[in-house]
A = this chain, B = another copy of it.
Amino acid sequence: MKEIILSQVYQHPLISTEDLRRIIDAHEPRSFSKGEHLYKRGKVLNEYLVLESGLIRSFTHNYQGDEITTDFFGQYEVVIEVLSLFQRTALQEDLQALTDGCGWTISYDVFQELFHAIPGLSEWGRLWMTNKLFQFKQKSIDIITQSAKERYLDIVTNKPQIIRHAPLKQIASYLGITDTSLSRIRKDIS
């Protein structure tokens, strides 16, 4: 399973079979249970996690202290807060498991070594960042151009695991609306 997941994630033309072997070997297993806080706000992130199964969310708080869910992570996704990991600063978000699950972690130091030793990995990392950057840019455009209902239906279609496992309030804060409004939207749809 480890091979299947990781060779899927680290797919890149410049990463040879040999390189891939080194990368895979550098990952350690990690499992977690529902509700567990995997990484906590205030600490510096020292690893990232490639998800094999389960659902994880990242969240922060607004000035009123309400939780705002900023992202969800599912299978084959990389659970990370880049600012903390690469800038070696304190996490500004919490990462919490919404279901039981497991995956593979790699530490900052080991990743750093491979990043400079394997040209394909630095290319891969750049592409990963590029995609993630695009996602967030798109998200901020979507918030201003689409209605809450459209954005909700988008999740229903493209990320149904979120609907299945995350409580309404978390989905609502991710969409930028209140749980009350999301409840009404649901009613309206059905």
Contacts and interface: CB of A to CB of B under 8 A. Distances in A.
A1 interface: no
Contacts of A134: 82-83
Interface in A137-190: 137, 139-141, 143-145, 173, 175-176
A60 to B, nearest CB: 7
A176 B143 contact: yes
A126 interface: yes
Counting chain A residues whose Cβ lies within 8 A of the other chain, the interface size class is 20 to 34
A149 to B, nearest CB: 15
Interface stretch (A18-26, A49-57, A115-123): A115-123
Most buried by B among A86, A130, A137, A145: A137
Interface in A96-140: 115-116, 119, 122, 125-127, 129-134, 136-137, 139-140
Interface of A: 60, 62-63, 68, 70, 82-83, 86-87, 115-116, 119, 122, 125-127, 129-134, 136-137, 139-141, 143-145, 173, 175-176
